Structures are given as C-alpha cells and as structure tokens.
Amino acid sequence: MVLWLLAVVTGLWLGQASAPDGSLPAPSNVPGAQYPRVHPDNSVTFRIKADGAQKVTIGTYELAKGADGFWSVTTRPYTPGFHYYSVVVDGFTTTDPGSQTFFGYGRQNSAIEIPGPESDFFAPKDVPHGAVRMEWYYSKATSRWRRVFVYTPPGYDRDRGTRYPVLYLQHGAGEDETGWSRQGHENFILDNLIAAGRSKPMIVVNENGTILPRPGGPPPPPRGPGAMIENRFTEFDEVVSRDLIPFIDATFRTVADRDHRAIAGLSMGGAEAMRVGVNHLERFSHIGLFSPAISSLDPATHYDARLADAAAFNKQLRLLWIGIGTEDTLHPGVRASHEALQRAGIRHTWVESGGGHTWTVWRKYLADFAPLLFR
Amino acid sequence: MVLWLLAVVTGLWLGQASAPDGSLPAPSNVPGAQYPRVHPDNSVTFRIKADGAQKVTIGTYELAKGADGFWSVTTRPYTPGFHYYSVVVDGFTTTDPGSQTFFGYGRQNSAIEIPGPESDFFAPKDVPHGAVRMEWYYSKATSRWRRVFVYTPPGYDRDRGTRYPVLYLQHGAGEDETGWSRQGHENFILDNLIAAGRSKPMIVVNENGTILPRPGGPPPPPRGPGAMIENRFTEFDEVVSRDLIPFIDATFRTVADRDHRAIAGLSMGGAEAMRVGVNHLERFSHIGLFSPAISSLDPATHYDARLADAAAFNKQLRLLWIGIGTEDTLHPGVRASHEALQRAGIRHTWVESGGGHTWTVWRKYLADFAPLLFR
C-alpha cells in the first residue's frame, strides 16, 4: 500500500506537458493521464495497455499493438465538443482508464472533450460563480430518498432579499442527474450568461428521469417509434409535480408560480419535459425541447388533446422552444412535429442547427434557451 | 439512436429483483445492473461479457467462461463495507460496466459495497438532511479555478443567525475531492450524528490534495519510506491557507477562528492534515489522522521541530486524534509514531481498530472523530 501510494504520487508528477508534436492530454482526462491526446488538427491518439489482447477497438477505429504491449491509434480530426466513447478489448466493452467517467448509455462511460473557440461559452471565467448543490429529499411517489442537483446563481447566499425563477432541466436516456453539470457544464454556461447580462439569474434543477420499476408497479412503457411520445412518464410526472417542486419551493428562495417556472430536457428528457409541462400548465409557462425524442407529433390527439385548441394553448404557454440538429437521426421526426405544430397554429420557436445528437449541441441549446426565459 | 434509447429505457425496466438464491445487485451498481450480485453470506458473483477474451480476473479471482460468452466467478464472503476492484481482461485493467465509478488509484475505478448492519450509520434516514455543494474558486497558489466540495448541515439555509465550525477533511493518494461524499457518505454520517445530538452542526470541506506539477514548479517529492512525513506539501498548504480558508470564511457562515477549525484526512490526506495543521496552529485547533501515511514520526525533529516542546504544543492543540486498523500495512509505522508521541508527552487520542486501509474504516473514523470536535 505504501509503495503503491508513493508510486501514484510520484507518477502524477509526470504531469500534463505538451509533446513536440503539439499534442496535449484531453481536458476530459483524469489528472496526469497522458492519453488520449488531442493534436493541433483535433485528431486524437488513444493508447491502451492490453498486452494479452487479440483485438482492441474504439468506435470504428481498430488499434494496433506496439512492441511495448500498448495498443494505439490516431484518428481523423474530431469536431470540437464532447464525444462519448468506449474501449472494446476482446469483446469487453468498457472505459478507458485515462478518461474521466460520465454517466451515459446506462453506465459510467468515457468521453473526450475536444477544446476549441466553441468551448468559450462554458469555460470557467473570471466572473462571479454559482454553486451546484446535491440535495436529498424523500419522494412519496417512489418511496425513497432521491438526490437532486441544484444550480444556484452567483450571489444566491448573499442577496437574501432576492427570489429566483426555476428551470427544471433534464438529461437523456441512459444518463442521470449528474449529466447537466458534468457533461453539460450548465453552471459555467449560466455564470457566463448572467455575468454578460444575457440571462436572468435563475435556479436550475436536475433530477433523474430514469424511473426504475417497483415491485407491483406499472408495466414497462410501450416500444416502437411512437413510444416516447405515447409514454406518460407517470412516475417521473409524480416525482416532479408532487415531490420535487414542493421541495424546491420550500428549500430555495424561488418565485413559486407558473410564470417563473420552466421545464426543458434533451432527447428522452425532451419527451419528459413536453409530457410533464403540458400536463401541468398550472405549474409551467416555458417548455424547452432539445433534440427531443418526439416523432411525428399529432397536436390534435397526442398529449390528451391538450394542444387541440391552439388559441387556448398559445395563451397559456409563454414559450415552447424546439431545437434539433440536421445531422441528428431524430431530425426527420422532430421536423415533422414542428411542421404539424405550425399547421395547427401552435406558437413555438424553431431552431434547426448543425450537429448531431450530442452534448456539444445541447450545451449550445441551453445557452440559446436560457436568455429567453422569464422575460 | 432512437432504437438504442428505447432499448435502454426498456432494459432498465428489468429492474433489480432478488433472485431465488436470495442474491441482490450490489447497492454500488449502476441502476438496473444485475451484476455484481451479493449473496446472503456476503459472497459476490461477478459477471463480465468478454466473448473474445483469453483470461479475465478480478483481484485474485480468475473468472470462468460460460457458453454464452459471459465470464463469471463467485467469491468467498466479503467483509461488509466498501471494496475497490478492477477487472483485468487480457492485460487490460479497467472498470466493470455494472459498477458505479469512484475516483481511486488515480483513475475512475469500480467498487462493491457489501451492505450490513454496519452500514446503518451512513444510511440516508428520516432525519433532516444537509447538502453537499460544489463551489468554484480561483486559487492564486495554483493559478487556476478549483472545485471544492462543501457539506452544509441541515438547517443551514434556514437558520440565518447561526455560524458554524469547519472541518477540512481530505481524501487519500490517487483519490480526489469527490471521495468523502461518494465513497465516504460524509453527508449521511454527519446528518445522522447531528440528528442524534452526538455532533455539533458543522461545515465539512473537501479539497483535492493531489497537486499536479506546474511548468517551472518545484521538483517531485522525495521517494522512500519516510517520503510522506518529509513531504512539505507546499502547494497544498498554500492552497488551503492562502486561498481556501479565506474563500470558505467569505462564502459560508463560519466561526472564523482557530477554535472552530479542524483539519483531518486519510492516508496521504492524514500526512497532509498533520503537515498543514502543525504549520498553521494559528488556524487549526483540532487535527485528525485516519490511517495516516506517517511512518516512525520523530517528534524532536520532524515538522520543523514544532512538536519538540510538548507542553507548548499540548497547550495549542485541543485534539490530536490518530486511528489505524491492525490489518493495515501502515499499522507498524503509525503505531511506532503513536509510541514516540507518547514518549515525548504529546497528548493525543489513539484508536487501534480492526480493519485495513479501506473506506469501511475511514467512515467509522469520521463517525468517531466528529463528535469530539468543537467541544
């Protein structure tokens, strides 16, 4: 143990230096890990120790074995931003020890952050910083203690007379309540927007939208292309409306009315935001759908026909925001939904951006969406 | 993507059911993961998909390949508590996708929690709960933004007239500022102690004691058995004394004097707590060493001879607490240090417990140490 910890401490002193080829350890690496490395052209060298392996792959790349028992590959240039990846060694799919882990695809996963000028809006800067709190509260809907992440804006502890609006912001399928602070850097995005005067100071709440079954609980949701839009997310709806909102309003200095409450989410979280938001227009006045898992929405029938009377719906909702990347496999279904909403006269903001189904896009959506809230 | 996320959502509905043999998924698993499973006798079945592998090991256990391409093993009974583990597939050492990850050994690592009656003191109970905040502050000592974890006790936001003492509590080598909340469950330990009236409400601060080198910075610390006790931890000392304490006292409602400030840590963090605590007796009045990486302390010469005058030292320090497990490889060196302190007349609390160099022991030490603070 002693020898081991001396080795670790000494090993970390090797540090994170730039190589002669200009490459640098990825900012998403664990401290001291030299690989993966990002080159000036945004190509990446992965390097894995697996001296007894037959085959090592990362995504579509097959790594080659060196004489030292390390496998490596240098990729084509990546686009700047956040990319999940797995290492597959002889059929075993898992993490790269060089990477920090991020909960995605239902497990702790590796990811590589390719830095660039596009990273500026979520970089920690010399501006006042908010905090991200882990809070625990008892949920009657799920009969257990739940953890929730809560961003409080800069000055929250000091400005005791101030009350704040709240954005409930959800992750995607296979992710959890850590996603928006770890992968998403929501705190730095909001810190920077608030410092620039572009967003109102607000509280942001991240719950876990993955509801596990209870013995004797409801059956699994239906499968198939329409599943997400048909899914009632009953348990998550109960958690948010019966347990979470009262907890947040009792614990934080919120403005506890619908005009000062928004709900948004990405992918599955977008489907949840739409369902819970439309179910509770008495609670929410703003809804944000980031690359939502919503396909071919029919405003006349879906969501218990609550969108059928467009004039009444438009009057209640101050903002319905929908964004999707043109390279996202969900793009056709979301675009069709947008067109159906348009035909039905449902007022909404439509953003067709570049990019795919990635956190690179969702961070930008948060930075576009937050300034529109609570105006 | 759509098909994938449907598969994830549906897959999670398989849930975490007890098997006919009474085994259950470990509480440290990711949601929905059926393996590793803990049996009623605390033996564990690990199960890994690696259909192309030649050899799969976990610790000293070699897994056997089944016809379905999954490798598995059932271990001897574990002791209840927290156990790090790695999976080694054909020479590749990494995580088990079934486990949550915990930063240890310089990377994100798997671990298994064996539940038992011994888990009760850190279980979330029906008592008031504190929060754990991630805060960001700029450190002049390291010229960068640093993240610090801060536990605030129950009622912190409500009882605006109350000020609190502060415990600075550090992780071990190869770990980071997440250790005490993730592996350690410090928040539930304190919540339960405070609810029982056994501990004073206090703030607990976890920084990252792993200081990475800066270009042009000091050379690596010396190696060898005495390295930890000789290490001056200069940069960490500067971070704590110049940047962190002022930040905490400015941001939280602390009692900002030495009587209401303690520093403690485990393993390397114990060596750091001793170094920083003894260097700054004007700041700290309580020091806790949990299985500290301190070997054969010489009170006459070590720590710049600040312990050489026992009477003066005893007058300044209200508590020096040292705990070590008899199965810990550090035990002989720590026991020798205790005996040297005793001979030199340095007043301290000495706890020789069962157990090894593990979080199972450190959680108990926190529960033993916290009630002694700020009396």
**Hey, what CATH topology would domain B22-115 get?**
Immunoglobulin-like (2.60.40)
pLDDT in tens, A18-57: 788 999 999 999 999 999 999 999 999 999 999 999 999 9
Largest distance between two CA atoms of chain A: 72
Q: Are B359 and B331 in contact (CB under 8 A)?
A: no
Cα–Cα distance for residue pair A27/A36, rounded to 1 Å: 10
The distance of A315 to chain B (nearest Cα, Å) reads 32
Q: Which pLDDT band, with edges at 50, 70 and 90, does A67 fall under? A: very high
Residue bearing the bigger pLDDT, B7 or B189: B189
Contacts of A49 in chain B (CB under 8 A): 91-93
Nearest chain A Cα to B7, which residue? Answer: A223
pLDDT score of B5 more than 90: no
Contacts of B127 in chain A (CB under 8 A): none
Amino acid at B14: L
> Would the CB atoms of B9 and A173 count as touching at under 8 Å?
yes
In the prediction, which pLDDT does A214 show?
Answer: 57
Helix (H) or strand (E) holding A262: strand A261-266
pLDDT score of B3 more than 70: no
Question: Which stretches of chain A are DSSP H helices?
Answer: 2-12, 179-182, 186-195, 227-230, 234-238, 245-251, 268-279, 310-316, 331-344, 359-369
> Would the CB atoms of B49 and A225 count as touching at under 8 Å?
no
In the prediction, which pLDDT does A20 show?
Answer: 87
**Both ends of chain A: CA-CA distance in Å?**
58
Q: Measure CA A25 to chain center.
A: 24
Q: Using omega within 30 degrees of 0 as the cis cutoff, is the peptide bond preceding A77 cis? A: no
**Domain assignments of chain B as residue spans, ordered by start:** 22-115, 121-372
Give the number of other Cβ atoms within 10 Å of residue B367's Cβ: 18
Residue bearing the bigger pLDDT, B327 or B296: B327
Q: Which of B8, B51, B251 sits opposite A91 (nearest CB)?
A: B51
pTM of the model: 0.94
Average confidence score pLDDT of chain B: 92
In the prediction, which pLDDT does B12 show?
Answer: 40
Contacts of A94 in chain B (CB under 8 A): 87, 89, 94-97
* Listed residue (B134, B148, B173) closest to B266, CA to CA: B173
Contacts of B131 in chain A (CB under 8 A): 133-136
Could you write out the DSSP letters of every residue in B127-167?
S---EEEEEEEEETTTTEEEEEEEEE-TTTTT-TT--B-EE
> Would the CB atoms of B135 and A145 count as touching at under 8 Å?
no
Q: Which of A6, A107, A160 sits opposite B30 (nearest CB)?
A: A107
What is the pLDDT averaged over residues A217-238? 76
Q: Which pLDDT band, with edges at 50, 70 and 90, does A9 fall under? A: very low
Largest distance between two CA atoms of chain B: 72
Helix (H) or strand (E) holding A319: strand A319-325
> Would the CB atoms of A5 and B293 count as touching at under 8 Å?
yes
Strands (DSSP E) contained in B44-155 are: 44-49, 56-58, 61-62, 64-65, 70-74, 81-85, 87-89, 92-94, 101-104, 107-114, 131-139, 144-152
Could you write out the DSSP letters of every residue in B170-222?
E--TT--TTHHHHTT-HHHHHHHHHHTTSS---EEEE----PPP-TT-PPPPP
Contacts of A17 in chain B (CB under 8 A): 215
The distance of A312 to chain B (nearest Cα, Å) reads 32
Specify which residues B234 forms β-bridges with. Answer: none
Q: Are A61 and A75 in contact (CB under 8 A)?
A: yes
In the prediction, which pLDDT does B228 show?
Answer: 87
**Encoded tokens for B8:** 């994830």
pLDDT in tens, B89-124: 999 999 999 999 999 999 999 999 999 999 999 999
Cα–Cα distance for residue pair A157/A180, rounded to 1 Å: 22
Which residues 6+ apart lie within 8 Å of A4 measured at CB?
B105
The helix, strand and coil proportions of chain A, stated in percent and rounded to the nearest 5, come to 30, 25, 45
* Listed residue (B57, B49, B374, B350) closest to B193, CA to CA: B374
Q: Which of B50, B210, B215 sits opposite A92 (nearest CB)?
A: B50
> Is 2.60.40.10 the CATH classification of the domain at A18-115?
yes
For B248-266, give one letter per residue: b (16+ CB within 10 A) or e. Answer: beebbbbbbebebbbbbbb
Q: Which residue of A48, A108, A191 to mutate against B (max B Cβ within 10 Å)?
A: A108
pLDDT score of B6 more than 50: no
In the prediction, which pLDDT does B227 show?
Answer: 79
pLDDT score of B2 more than 50: no
Contacts of B91 in chain A (CB under 8 A): 49-53, 69
Q: Which pLDDT band, with edges at 50, 70 and 90, does B17 fall under? A: low
Which residues 6+ apart lie within 8 Å of A127 measured at CB?
A154, A191, A192, A194, A195
> Would the CB atoms of A8 and B51 count as touching at under 8 Å?
no
Q: Which of A2, A53, A221 sits opposite B9 (nearest CB)?
A: A221
What is the pLDDT averaged over residues A68-92? 97
* Listed residue (B150, B180, B154) closest to B166, CA to CA: B150
Backbone φ and ψ of B333, nearest 5°: -65, -35
Could you write out the DSSP letters of every residue in B278-299?
HHTTTT-SEEEEES-S--S--T
Q: Which of A49, A90, A329 sits opposite B2 (nearest CB)?
A: A329
pLDDT in tens, A313-367: 999 999 999 999 999 999 999 999 999 999 999 999 999 999 999 999 999 999 9
> Would the CB atoms of A100 and B91 count as touching at under 8 Å?
no
pLDDT score of B212 more than 90: no
The distance of A320 to chain B (nearest Cα, Å) reads 23
Dihedral of alpha carbons B197, B252, A194, A365, sign = negative
Q: Using omega within 30 degrees of 0 as the cis cutoff, is the peptide bond preceding B154 cis? A: no
In order of A323, B160, B242, the CA distances from B152 in angstroms are 38, 13, 22
Nearest chain B Cα to A92, which residue? Answer: B50
**What homologous superfamily does CATH list for B121-372?**
Alpha/Beta hydrolase fold, catalytic domain (3.40.50.1820)
ipTM rounded to 2 decimals: 0.93
Q: Which of B92, B107, B131 sits opposite A89 (nearest CB)?
A: B92
In the prediction, which pLDDT does A1 show?
Answer: 41
The distance of A311 to chain B (nearest Cα, Å) reads 32
Q: Are B248 and B254 in contact (CB under 8 A)?
A: yes
Specify which residues B111 forms β-bridges with. Answer: B84
For chains A and B, CB pairs below 8 A equal 240
Cα–Cα distance for residue pair A48/B6, rounded to 1 Å: 31
Q: Which of B6, B89, B133 sits opposite A89 (nearest CB)?
A: B89
Q: Which pLDDT band, with edges at 50, 70 and 90, does A195 fall under? A: very high
Q: Which pLDDT band, with edges at 50, 70 and 90, does B267 fall under? A: very high
Q: Report the relative pairing of strands B61-62 and B56-58 from DSSP bridges.
A: antiparallel
In the prediction, which pLDDT does B22 show?
Answer: 95
pLDDT in tens, A245-299: 999 999 999 999 999 999 999 999 999 999 999 999 999 999 999 999 999 899 9
Contacts of A252 in chain B (CB under 8 A): 157
Polymer length in residues for chain A? 375
pLDDT score of B57 more than 80: yes
A18-115 and A121-372 have identical folds: no
Q: Which of A10, A95, A172 sits opposite B95 (nearest CB)?
A: A95
Residue bearing the bigger pLDDT, B14 or A23: A23
Cα–Cα distance for residue pair A165/A170, rounded to 1 Å: 17
pLDDT in tens, A136-186: 999 999 999 999 999 999 999 999 999 999 999 999 999 999 999 999 999
Q: Which long-range contacts (CB under 8 A, 24 or more apart) does A324-327 make?
A: A324/A291, A324/A292, A324/A351, A324/A352, A324/A353, A325/A291, A325/A352, A325/A353, A325/A354, A325/A355, A325/A356, A325/A357, A325/A358, A325/A361, A326/A352, A326/A353, A326/A354, A326/A355, A327/A354, A327/A355, A327/A356
The distance of B312 to chain A (nearest Cα, Å) reads 32
Q: Which pLDDT band, with edges at 50, 70 and 90, does A6 fall under? A: very low
Average confidence score pLDDT of chain A: 92
Tell the residue number behind the tokens 């300034």, with chain if given: A371
Determine the 3-state secondary structure of A70 from DSSP: strand
**Encoded tokens for A7:** 């080795």
Contacts of B98 in chain A (CB under 8 A): 107
Amino acid at B70: F
Contacts of A70 in chain B (CB under 8 A): none
Nearest chain B Cα to A214, which residue? Answer: B15
> Would the CB atoms of B1 and A95 count as touching at under 8 Å?
no
Residue bearing the bigger pLDDT, B7 or A340: A340
In the prediction, which pLDDT does B214 show?
Answer: 57
The distance of A213 to chain B (nearest Cα, Å) reads 6
In the prediction, which pLDDT does A230 show?
Answer: 87
Which residues 6+ apart lie within 8 Å of A323 measured at CB?
A289, A290, A291, A351, A352, A353, A361, A365, A368, A369
Q: Which of A92, A95, A131 sits opposite B133 (nearest CB)?
A: A131
What is the pLDDT averaged over residues B231-244? 95
